[in-house]
Amino acid sequence: QACTQTYIVKNYFYYYLFKFSAALGEEIFYITFLPFTYWNVDHSVSRRMVIIWSIVMYIGQVSKDILKWPRPLSPPVVKLEMRTNAEYGMPSTHAMAATAISFSFFIATMNQYKYPSELGLVAAFVVSTLVCLSRLYTGMHTVLDVIGGALISAVLLMLLYPAWDTIDHLLLTSPFCPLLSVVVPLVLCYNYPKLDYYSPTRGDTTTILGAAAGATVGFWLNNQYAAPAYTSKSFQPGLPLVTSRMVFVLARSFLGILVVLLTRWLMKNVVLGVLSYRYKFPIRDLDARRRLEVEVPYKFVTYSSVGFTATVIVPLLHQLLGLM
C-alpha cells in the first residue's frame, strides 16, 4: 500500500544524510559503484564483491518472504518511502547489502593496497552503520530487522570468505561457468517463494541475480580471451601524474555509466516489446508485467545484459579509446 502520511522536515542535515545513506542500498548505487571498482580499482576485488552481494541478497530476499514479518506500522511510524512498503521487513536487505559490500571491499583490498587497515575498517563500519540507521529514520524497518540483516550478512561473509579464492578460480576457469551462471539463477528466480499478493521482492531478486549472471559470464570471457585485469603501472607521487590518473578515472567512469544506462534502457524496451507481443498485453500494463512469465525474463535479460556490458563491452570501449 502507498504511504499517505504527510510530514514536515525539521532537520535537513539528518534528512538528506539518511536519504542519501538509504540510496547506498538501492539499484542506483549497485549500478555505479560495482562497475566503478571493476573499471578503476581491481578486477579481483569487483568479482568478490559481486559474488558476495548476489548470494547475500538472494538469501535476504527469500528470507523475507519465508518469515513474512511485517514492516513497522504506519502510523505511528512515518514512512518516507513507498515502493518497498509492499515487502516484508525481516531481514533488512539494505543492511545486508551495505554490510556485505563495505566489508568485502575492505577485506579484498586490505592485502592488495597500502592503506591503514584501521581506517578501512572504520570506513566499512561507518558506511554499513549509516545505511542501517537510514532504514530506521525512513520508517522502513524495526531495530530487529536491521540488526538481523547485518548479523546474517556478517555470518555469510565469514562462511564464504575461506572459499573466495576457490569460487573465483572456478568462475574464471571452469568451462561450465557460463552455462551454470545463467541456468542456476534462472531456476532460482522461476522457483521463488510464492506470496498471496504481489511483492517487488521477486523482481528485485531477478534483477540482482541477472546482473550477477551477466557479470560472471563477462568475467569468464575476459579471463579466456582478454587481458585478465587492467595493468596498474607504478609511478612516483606528483600532482601532474595524480591529476592525469584522475582524468582517466573520471573518463572511464562517465563513459561506462553512460553505456550501462543506455544498455538498461534499450534492453528494457526491447524485451518488454517482445514479451508484450508474445503474451498479448499492452506494454504499459503494470499487472501483466508482474506476471511470472513476464517479470522474470524481462528483468533477467535486461540486467544480465547490464552486467555483461559493464564487464565486457565497456572495457573494450575503454581500450579502443585509449582510456586503459
Q: Residues with catalytic annotation?
A: 94, 141
Q: Which residue has the cell 538528506?
A: 16
Q: Can you read off the three cell numbers belonging to residue 191?
A: 522457483
Q: Where are the alpha helices (DSSP H) in the chain?
A: 12-23, 27-40, 43-67, 93-110, 117-137, 143-160, 164-173, 177-190, 201-225, 239-279, 286-289, 292-308, 314-320
The helix/strand/coil state of 87 is: coil
C-alpha gyration radius of the chain:
20
Q: Can you read off the three cell numbers belonging to residue 152?
A: 546474517
Q: Are the CB atoms for 202 and 295 separated by under 8 Å?
A: yes
Q: Can you read off the three cell numbers belonging to residue 173?
A: 576457469
- CA distances to 18, 126, 150, 154, 167 from 11, rounded to whole Å, are 11, 21, 27, 32, 46
Alpha-carbon distance of 124 to 91, in angstroms, equals 20
Alpha-carbon distance of 26 to 202, in angstroms, equals 15
Alpha-carbon distance of 55 to 60, in angstroms, equals 9
Query: Distance between the two ends of the chain, CA-based, in angstroms?
Result: 48
Q: Which amino acid, residue 222?
A: N
Cβ-count burial 209-226 (b if 16+ within 10 Å, e if not)? bbbbbbbbbbbbebbeee
Please choose, from the candidates 137, 172, 135, 171, the residue with its C-alpha nearest in 3D space to the C-alpha of residue 150.
Answer: 135
Alpha-carbon distance of 294 to 147, in angstroms, equals 35
